């Protein structure tokens, strides 16, 4: 199935005729515009087993855009509903984007059950605070080349990264400096690797490095 026409080796390959075509009008800044959605239903992957779940591909052509929107879904939804759900996807993904990419939550790993539940909550909260602070603060340029700065979390994060945290800021009593000495402990990736037991270490070949031991 080919929802859009394409060219290959100088030849144009036509699109597959749709199973259903739906048209509707929506109001816009320039007046009403007509949208057209072509649907291909009952589709499966080429290597799918008999009785596998099917999905639908919808190509929504909007006069405001040069290319149609292609969406694949296993849900039985109308093209209008599917388009609105896809448009709501970007506001929903803003907080995880700010937390993971701007604050570095994507590079952190936790293993305890309580921590695995608490870490995403704190990441989403931090992403929401960063996004709100960036949207309500003046736009800060990244450098001299940033002629038209926007109020984005990335620009605010870079600005905060160059600032010094005030040492006399009144913190709550539960937030305090950890006095435990951790300089002698391995950090990051090496801190999570398991050390071999004495039995496995003695039985290993002397000319082959251990699987959990660093080799200089």
CA distances from 42 to 55, 57, 93, 202 (A): 6, 9, 29, 60
Q: pLDDT tens, 17-48?
A: 999 999 999 887 778 889 999 999 999 998 98
More confident position, 176 or 49 = 49
Residue 199: per-residue pLDDT: 60
When pLDDT is averaged across residues 148-176 and rounded to a whole number, the result is 83
Q: Which domain holds residue 102?
A: 93-140+152-159
More confident position, 56 or 112 = 56
Query: Do residues 13 and 57 both lie within one domain?
Result: yes
Query: Do residues 11 and 57 both lie within one domain?
Result: yes
Query: Do residues 66 and 29 both lie within one domain?
Result: yes
pTM: 0.53
Please spell the DSSP secondary structure of 153-176, one letter per residue.
Answer: HHHHHHHHHTSPPPTT----TT--
Judged against a pLDDT cut of 70, whether residue 122 lies above it is answered with yes
Query: Do residues 72 and 113 both lie within one domain?
Result: no
In a domain, 130, yes or no: yes
Judged against a pLDDT cut of 80, whether residue 201 lies above it is answered with no
Burial of 22 (0-12, 13-18, 19+ CB in 10 A): middle
Query: Six-digit token pair at 42?
Result: 């009952």
When pLDDT is averaged across residues 188-214 and rounded to a whole number, the result is 54
Contacts of 24 (CB under 8 A, 6+ apart): 34, 35, 79, 80
- Looking at the structure of the chain, the number of domains it has is 2
Residue 213: per-residue pLDDT: 43
In a domain, 178, yes or no: no
Query: Do residues 33 and 68 both lie within one domain?
Result: yes
CA–CA dist 195, 210 (Å, integer):
9
Angle, to 10 degrees, between the axis of helix 89-97 and the axis of helix 79-87? Answer: 20
Judged against a pLDDT cut of 50, whether residue 209 lies above it is answered with no
In a domain, 88, yes or no: no
Please spell the DSSP secondary structure of 23-64, one letter per residue.
Answer: EEEEEETTEEEEEEEEEEEEE--TTPPTTPPPEEEEEEE-TT
In a domain, 207, yes or no: no
Query: Do residues 69 and 117 both lie within one domain?
Result: no
Query: Do residues 13 and 40 both lie within one domain?
Result: yes
In a domain, 215, yes or no: no
Position 208 confidence tier, pLDDT thresholds 50, 70, 90: very low
Residue 198: per-residue pLDDT: 61
Residue 215: per-residue pLDDT: 42
CB 126 within 8 A of CB 138: no
CB 59 within 8 A of CB 37: yes
In a domain, 100, yes or no: yes
Of the residues 77, 111, 129, the one at which a domain ends: 77
Query: Do residues 56 and 12 both lie within one domain?
Result: yes
In a domain, 182, yes or no: no
In a domain, 37, yes or no: yes
Query: Do residues 16 and 71 both lie within one domain?
Result: yes
């Amino acid at each position: 199935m080919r929802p859009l026409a394409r060219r290959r080796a100088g030849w144009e390959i036509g699109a597959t005729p749709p199973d259903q075509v739906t048209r509707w009008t929506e109001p816009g800044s320039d007046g009403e515009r007509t949208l057209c959605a072509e649907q291909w239903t009952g589709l499966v992957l080429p290597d799918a087993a008999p009785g596998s779940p099917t999905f639908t591909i919808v190509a929504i052509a909007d006069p405001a855009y040069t290319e149609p929107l292609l969406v694949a879904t296993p849900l039985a939804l109308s093209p209008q509903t599917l388009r609105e759900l896809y448009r709501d996807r970007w506001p929903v993904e803003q907080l995880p984007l700010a937390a993971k990419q701007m604050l570095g939550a994507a590079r952190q790993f936790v293993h305890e059950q309580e921590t695995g539940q608490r870490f995403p909550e704190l990441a989403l909260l931090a992403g929401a605070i960063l996004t709100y602070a960036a949207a309500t603060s003046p736009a800060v340029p990244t450098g001299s080349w940033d002629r038209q700065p926007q109020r984005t979390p990335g620009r605010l994060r870079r600005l905060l990264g160059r600032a010094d945290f005030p040492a006399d800021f009144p913190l709550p009593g539960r937030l305090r400096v950890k006095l435990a000495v951790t300089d002698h402990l391995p950090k990051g990736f090496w801190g999570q690797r398991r050390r071999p037991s004495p039995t496995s270490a003695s039985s290993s070949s002397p000319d082959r490095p251990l699987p959990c031991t660093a080799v200089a």
